[in-house]
Amino acid sequence: MPVQESAVPLILGEGKDVLIQSATGSGKTLGYLIPLLQKLLNELESDNNNDATTTTTTKSSKSKSSNKNQIKLLILLPTRDLVDQVISTLNSLLYYLTDQLSPPLSLLKPQKSDPNLHSLTVSSLRTPPQIVVATPLGLLTYTSHLTLSSLTSLVLDESDLMLSHGYASDLTETRKLLPKICQTVLVSATLNESVKELKKVMLHKPAIIKVNKETRSGTLKQFYLPLPSSSDKLLIIYCFLKLSIITGRSLFFTSSTTSCYRLKLFLEQFGIRSGVVGGNMTGRHRSEVVERFNTGGFDVLIAEATEEATEESLDSESESESEADEITSPKKSSKKNTDSSDFGVSRGVDFRGVKYVINVDLPPTSSSYTHRIGRTARAGASGIALTLIDESDEGEMEILKVIQESQPRAEGSKSTDVMTMKEGEVQPARLEFDLKEVEGFRYRVEDVKRAVTKVAITETIQKEIKESLLNSDRLLEHFASNPQDRNLLEADKMRSNINKVQSHLKHVPSYLIPSGMKVAKPSKKRRRRSNLPQTGEKNSEADPLISAPTESRIFLDSNDGTGKSTSGRKQWKMKRGKGKYSKRYDATKFRGKR
């Protein structure tokens, strides 16, 4: 991939600070992991060679022992989900290197659902690993138990999200812990004010890698659908799914946990399976849901998008290299860091095989829009992004204009389906869709919407929280030794306030299907049989009464073509010399007679 071709030699060969700016799904993670792991292996080999050449002293032996138990590579990410993903990628890369490198360690702020995390992490830090993956807040939680004096490489991934999550003060404190000489890699999908701020503070004369959006091998088509009211969104989602306008794995983004579960319960009434990833879940539970989606457990995943509600600009790179002593957040991004701020699936999380991204709620910024639609058309694949917009909301129309200015022009589409666009068209382009064509489905949708009450949504959320807590590491250990406690809790299952799914809602009646989408019925007109002759006469070869083989009753007993008849009448005439067998037989006289 272009990112890896450019990043690997710069990071590994020259050892310079690097700023990588490339679209989501372009391979940035492996672009910095591969060269930094190789750099770490080279450093360990160099240390071993130096130790082998020194004289045998007790002091040098202790030095060798301590060099292997020092943090060399630190990777900072804004969310827990990204930490888990990078840890998984590292474990895959280090599968055959376990004898040289210790397993990577994640540092996360302990949550109420897993209070034992702190003590377990402190225990792991007694023998420091060479690789640490953490959130800024998680790193500062354990500063009294670790040292970064031997750090040689630092990565700030998804750096455009760092300051928007309220990590400005945490990054300032982290900077004080770093050694003076440390290679730093800044990775971002967009180049906004937050990234520029971090670049000034964290990088020293960096090499800048920019991969143009036009170089991506996959094709991403972007559309928006203006609706008269936000209440029409569920109607459109239902029709697009049930009429197979949207097929395959689809990712739906909403702005709140309540909206996620409202959509989930709505789809369940029509027999459409879906999963939810929200901020109310533990990291373990979210990972399980994402893994089920990636392995084909269901095709619809509804995700809560947590973004800052301030407008960000996508200005071009500023070449100013002025130094700053402190990291400051953008003026409007004063959001404080909370436990839930460590959550985020619209940034960086690798959803496999996503064909459609549907923005049920419009993203507040062009940056967050870019990250959302980046969940599809990854690694050379193609995808479609659709945003539902309330055209009566002037604020949403203004945000749409900003988003259109930030996105590249369309490459064109040769397909004949609903979602086609012309080459050079502004993206996201308006989707030509007549709402009147699906007006017949409105009564069904409205009936189901009334069944999805606030009480039902609240009960479902509570049920998810309960299930998430039951699957926490601490409770799993407790249930292993006390299975009766789990049985009691599972017996106390909450019942949904929604009535049982009605089977007729799973099917779409033919009279409701728009005329343009109906399949033509086969013609009942009888075709002329191709095996009949043009004269219209019956083919005797096909007649079983004519073509049936029969045994010949004429037995030839001479070479002149005559034979002996087996007829009883003729045999009687032959024996007595009657008829044509008479000596006085005249052929001309008896012609035509038997």
Digit-by-digit pLDDT tens for the chain (594 residues) are 788 888 999 998 877 899 998 877 778 899 999 999 999 999 888 877 776 666 455 444 444 445 567 899 999 998 888 898 899 999 999 999 988 899 999 998 887 666 678 888 888 899 889 999 999 999 999 999 999 999 999 999 988 777 777 787 888 889 899 998 999 999 988 777 778 878 888 898 899 998 865 555 568 899 999 999 988 999 999 999 999 899 999 999 999 999 999 999 999 999 999 999 988 787 778 888 888 998 889 999 999 987 544 444 333 333 333 344 556 555 444 444 554 456 566 565 768 889 999 999 999 988 889 889 988 887 678 899 999 999 999 999 999 999 999 888 887 665 545 677 777 889 999 998 889 889 999 999 999 999 899 999 998 888 887 777 766 666 666 667 777 766 666 555 444 455 566 777 777 777 777 766 665 566 666 666 655 555 656 566 666 666 555 555 555 555 555 566 677 888 888 888 888 788 777 666 655 555
Distances (CA, A) of 344 to 176, 195, 230, 467, 508: 27, 18, 25, 20, 36
**Residue 519: per-residue pLDDT:** 55
**Residue 341: per-residue pLDDT:** 52
CB 22 within 8 A of CB 209: yes
DSSP string, 122-138: HHHTTS--SEEEE-HHH
Domain boundaries in the chain? 2-214, 217-315+341-452+498-517
**Residue 302: per-residue pLDDT:** 95
**Residue 31: per-residue pLDDT:** 92
CB 202 within 8 A of CB 12: no
What contacts 506, CB < 8 A, 6 or more positions away? 270, 271
Hey, how many other C-beta atoms are within 10 angstroms of the C-beta on 106?
23
Instruction: Look up residue 27 and give its two tokens.
Output: 């391979």
- Per-residue DSSP letter, 437: G
**Residue 72: per-residue pLDDT:** 94
CB 273 within 8 A of CB 293: no
Classify domain 217-315+341-452+498-517 by CATH number: 3.40.50.300
Hey, how many other C-beta atoms are within 10 angstroms of the C-beta on 94?
17
CA distance 525 to 586: 62
In CATH terms, 2-214 corresponds, of 3.40.50.1010, 3.40.50.300, 3.40.50.450, 1.10.730.10, to 3.40.50.300
Q: How far is CA 475 from the centre of its chain?
A: 30
CA distance 502 to 497: 14
**Residue 474: per-residue pLDDT:** 62
Three-state SS at 554 = strand
CA distance 213 to 24: 10
With vertex at residue 249, the alpha carbon angle to CA 247 and CA 255, rounded to the nearest 5 degrees, is: 110
Pairing of strands 300-304, 207-210: unpaired
Do the two domains 2-214 and 217-315+341-452+498-517 of this chain adopt the same fold?
yes
CB 139 within 8 A of CB 174: yes
In this structure, what are the phi and psi dihedrals at residue 75, rounded to the nearest 5 degrees? -115, 120
Place of tokens 């080459």: 423
Residues facing 275 on adjacent strands: 301
Residues facing 455 on adjacent strands: none
Strand ranges in 51-200 using DSSP code E only, listed in sequence order:
73-76, 105-107, 131-134, 153-156, 183-188
CA distance 161 to 188: 8
What contacts 107, CB < 8 A, 6 or more positions away? 121, 132, 133, 134, 135, 138, 139, 141, 142
Instruction: Look up residue 98 and give its two tokens.
Output: 């376990």
